[in-house]
Structure 1
């Protein structure tokens, strides 16, 4: 198995590569720079990947920010929207033909989007997914996660309609003790640290859930699901809104200058 760890943080990425190579001698693991907040970085990463002519059997979209203060990326997009949703959308679409050609009927390629239960409390204001009015970091984060789920479900439908050997699922690993909570207020951060050791899942345990969704034979050919802590469950009512899914898909494709139809 050849694994590419793509991250904007070279130090952390290389440390992960080193750790995996030590744990499993002979492992094919490498680091590639990829900043999901930058659409140009996504395009450059995809170009480098294409030049290597490698197959792609699994794509795990894991980058995220949470509760960041109001601000925009270099290309002018709200940061939750850009990193949690838009960058992943572009990355997946640009790599989709490779995923399609790498998959087989008996062993599908897989797209795994790391999601969050925060989507349950999101409104469905499609026209303000960038949180341009009355900015709230909580609402913006929840909205970006709903957008990610709408994308996952619509992608599943497109792949199914095209009879592609690719599955698309969203995975919620539960409450995980990571640096995502660094933007909490001081009292909230203190409370988080006190209860994290008792109630929060460790990053390693959360990663096991993502790897399960990406590799388990139990999920072969399973697609269009919201998997919470390893089990398919119902997501929010808004996430199943076919019209909302379609509208978001079309508006995002227009924004990124992509065809609304996937090439198979």
Structure 2
């Protein structure tokens, strides 16, 4: 679609043997708005599909637990894996398939304007027009999908308690979306990802799983330390495609199940140049 939408607007103005004149600022703004509207519709459809798959997988897990075909100590790790897959897919769709595409189209349109480098209304961050409105709608769609995932987790927890007697808890937050900053003639601001815990799961069999996003830089390592009642446990997290995850479970870095309590969770990201980024949160592990 890149460029075609704008060229279509200019087509009536083209005469044989002449180059098409650049569009007006209003035409440019309308082209961006129309292009963004299509991306927003696509985004909503993709998020619904990802959420449906997540809910389907949890339903299958509910059936396995009900039939006694799934180890109770694997409940939290299995749910965190499903959360990790869903959040990764949602973030990739939001950032790479939608926000980056709209930003690229905005740069194409700006480049086609052939003006003195000024930005028409709707192309600047903060002018409350096409770009900002698209960003706001996309962020809201992302947030709505994550809230629905949290609602499904609450339902899963109730069914898990009923079928197995295991108390299960989980929490999920919206990973931070990137921001659109079109700059047609030079590289835009770097799109860094801040270290953030966005998914946690625990159960009364004594385990705690933690996941989130990190910078995605090459050579990065992430470790997670959890603390309760003077006891401290540390693990090196698995890091793949800007996301990390680790589970503290009996037999998985621990000699025995975690004791009940509210845990402080510290996550540290180490880069090859020696930079350390940290973040902290907390979450509970229920007792039997």
Give your verdict on TM over 0.5: no
Structure with bigger gyration radius? 2
- TM-score using structure 1 length: 0.36
Q: Which has the higher strand share?
A: 2
- TM-score using structure 2 length: 0.34
